[in-house]
Amino acid sequence: MHAPTRFMVLTLLFILFTASTAIASSNIYIHLLNPHYGSGGHKHPDLNCLSWRLAVETNNLQNWTVVPLACKDYVGHYMLGKQYRQDVDLVTAEAYEFAKGLNLAGDGMDVWVFDIDETTISNLPYYARDTVGFGAVPLNLTTFNAWLEEAAGLAIPGSLKLYKKLIALGFKIVFLTGTEEIHREARTKNLKAVGYTTWEKLILREAGDGTGVAYKAKKRKELEEAGYRIRGNMGDQWSDLLGNNAGDRTFKLPDPMYYIG
């Protein structure tokens, strides 16, 4: 297994996020989930990347800072391949099944909370850079913030589909992100550009808001104190979903590239 080249990455990102599902499903299959080979094709008997990813997704591994180097290519192939997309699709489909079974009060106060990064917008063009290595390189906040300002993130297809269906069902949408307030314009531009055209609130993080689970729980509490009812809550991090006022039901989208506690 070789490291994805820049050309492969860009081609795949283009196909995965712009082409129809039919094309993506029939022509692309580089999803080589062999966990026993890491960077350069060397065997890594001590780390099973499938087990590592499962432990990450179930919150058994916490406070990790980078993707293990041995799993860099595995994570890259997973994120660029069909499996990631299908993993997301199953969760968003289940979320819709749940949502359509709820009775809404019709007063406009039933909300669905979405995180942004790797939940509604994908930063894969950034994470696929050689200098980022799908999370195997420690986060460079300067380059990441510059990327945010480009407002060039991609819609995650399953989440965009769910978003549209929730609005059709009568839910109000709240975006709740750990991004700092200073990036509001760029985030707004990015959301609108890829199809998230309307929302009740777009909550960004301000000085004194704290971080991670404390920040998200605080903002959700404020929402419910203002009379909103959080019926569903979707994020790629457990810190989006744990703590008070979590919502009637939470949905965890996959993200093996980074951890926010």
Sheet holding 110-114, edge to edge: 201-205, 172-180, 110-114, 229-235, 249-252
* Residue range at the interface with a copy of itself (CB under 8 A); choices 6-14, 69-77, 83-91, 139-147: 83-91
- Map tokens 């293990």 to a residue: 68
Residue 87 binding a copy of itself, by CB under 8 A: yes
Of 56 and 148, nearer to a copy of itself (C-beta) is 56
State CA 103 to chain mean position distance. Answer: 27
Contact 11, 28 (CB under 8 A): no
List CB contacts of 123: < 8 A, sequence separation 6 or more. Answer: 117, 147, 153
Single residue of 12, 76, 89, 240 touching a copy of itself by CB under 8 A: 89
Q: Return the structure tokens found at 23.
A: 């094309």
Angstrom distance (rounded) from CA 37 to CA 73: 9
Contact 95, 232 (CB under 8 A): yes
Draw the binding track, 16-55, toward a copy of itself (x: CB under 8 A; -: no contact): -----------------x--------------x-xxx-xx
Q: Alpha-carbon distance 132 to 128, whole Å? A: 7
User: CB-wise, 110 or 255, nearer to a copy of itself?
Assistant: 255
243 binds a copy of itself (CB under 8 A): no
Q: Which is nearer to a copy of itself, 71 or 151 (CB)?
A: 71
Query: Which among 159-167, 186-194, 208-216, 251-259 is the span making contact with a copy of itself, rule CB under 8 A?
Result: 251-259
Instruction: Give the shortest CB-220-to-a copy of itself separation in angstroms.
Output: 18
Candidates 5, 18, 21, 60; binder of a copy of itself (CB under 8 A) is 60
Of these, 2, 18, 30, 94, which contacts a copy of itself (CB under 8 A)? Answer: 94
User: HSE-up of 252 (CA within 13 Å, CB side)?
Assistant: 13
Q: Should residue 102 be labelled a site residue for a copy of itself when binding is judged by CB under 8 A?
A: no
Q: Which is nearer to a copy of itself, 152 or 242 (CB)?
A: 242
Note whether 83 binds a copy of itself by CB under 8 A.
yes
Q: Which two tokens stand for residue 48?
A: 């099973």
* 61, 69, 102, 137: residue in contact with a copy of itself (rule CB under 8 A): 61
Copy the structure tokens of residue 123.
């930063």
Smallest separation (angstroms) from a copy of itself to the CB of 208? 28
Nearest CA-CA partner of 75 in 141, 150, 9, 147: 9
User: How far is residue 7 from each of residues 29, 67, 123, 125, 247, measured CA to CA in Å?
Assistant: 16, 22, 17, 12, 41
- Would you tell me which residues interact with a copy of itself (CB under 8 A)? 33, 48, 50-52, 54-55, 57-61, 83, 86-87, 89-91, 94, 251-252, 254
